[in-house]
Amino acid sequence: MKKTTYYIAAGLLTFMSVSYAAESAQKTDVTELLKSRLGGSVEVSEPMDTPVEGVYQTQFGSKIAYLSGDGRYIIIGDMIDLQTQENLTELSRRTVSKAVLDKVAINNLAVFPSSTGETNAVLNVFTDTSCPYCKKLHEEVPDLQKAGIEVRYFPFPRGGARGPGYQVLKQVWCGKDKAQTMDIAKEVQSGDLPSADCEQAKFVDVGYNIGNELGVTGTPALFTADGQKIDGYVPSAKLIPMLIN
């Protein structure tokens, strides 16, 4: 008997009718109508095959979407394999997020290494020094370090350059030891922060742009080493088993 696999697009399903240009567009032209609809300022990735015949995956901004083969219809939502229960869209998101995070040089980040001598997991955190839950999470970083987890901080000033933490984050990134200045900014260590006038301060804007690219809308925003996104504060007692299994 022939085995059939079924897929469903779940979550937010949005159908946008894009002006029709051709009866049968080639795969390389599938995204052209979407590009014209979104305007030149939005980058649209090349279409990729999916397990569903005639449906192609693309990405624009932080959104993963699916296009019909003629380029006329777009579906925004999650594609789930009902046979395996895998969320195929989430797997794609993780792959994209991991690729973006892995491009960042570690010396641009505020890093709190594992204190066990062995790194069992890496946690990437988009943080804002003015965020109360970011401070709460930071107080528990020693617990994560003791579990063999390395914490890597990315700056993400809520509100961008107008955000309340923007200048302080620049001061943190101007420190010779960014882990130490992060401790000072988040009030787990006493001391003075350096001036925000330094070359490395520019990374605050870079971090903000990276966060936007990954769909970060608030802090703390956590990403595992494989690109899985965890929104908001999670107590260390719950976070540790999520990262080490």
CA separation, residue 184 to residues 134, 177, 217 (Å):
13, 11, 25
Q: 42-73: b or e for each residue (b if 16 or more CB lie within 10 Å)?
A: eebeebeebebeebbbbbbeeebbbbbbbbbb
Indicate whether 23 pLDDT > 70.
Answer: no
- Residue 224 domain-assigned (yes or no): yes
pLDDT grade for 74, boundaries at 50, 70 and 90 = confident
Most distant CA pair in the chain: distance in Å? Answer: 72
How big is the chain, counted in residues? 245
The answer on 163 and 151 residing in a single domain is yes
Phi-psi category of residue 85: left, alpha or beta, with phi > 0 → left and psi -120 to 50 → alpha? left
Q: What span, in angstroms and rounded, lies between the C-alpha atoms of 50 and 48? A: 6
- Residue 2 domain-assigned (yes or no): no
The answer on 214 and 108 residing in a single domain is yes
- Residue 82 domain-assigned (yes or no): yes
Task: Give 168-181 pLDDT, tens digit per residue.
Answer: 999 999 999 999 99
Identify the bridge partners of residue 73 per DSSP, sorted by sequence position. Answer: 17
**8 Å CB contact between 79 and 6:** no
Indicate whether 218 pLDDT > 50.
Answer: yes
CA 21 to chain CA mean position, Å: 34
The answer on 144 and 55 residing in a single domain is no
Interhelix angle for 88-102 vs 203-213, to 10°?
170
- Residue 49 domain-assigned (yes or no): yes
The answer on 234 and 143 residing in a single domain is yes
Residue 28: its pLDDT value, please? 57
Sequence-separated (6 or more) residues with CB below 8 Å from residue 142: 115
- Domain range spanning residue 35? 7-100
Q: What span, in angstroms and rounded, lies between the C-alpha atoms of 83 and 63? A: 25
- Of 46, 66, 100, the one marking the end of a domain is 100
The answer on 96 and 52 residing in a single domain is yes
Nearest-CA neighbor of 143 among 180, 115, 171? 115
- Residue 1 domain-assigned (yes or no): no
Instruction: Among 48-52, 120-124, 151-155, 182-186, name the one with the lowest average pLDDT.
Output: 48-52
- Of 73, 100, 127, the one marking the end of a domain is 100
Give the domain CATH number at 200. Answer: 3.40.30.10
Residue 15: its pLDDT value, please? 42
CA separation, residue 40 to residues 2, 37, 45, 62, 83 (Å):
45, 9, 13, 16, 39
The answer on 95 and 123 residing in a single domain is no
Residue 72: its pLDDT value, please? 85
- Of 100, 120, 150, the one marking the end of a domain is 100
- Domains identified in the chain, total number: 2
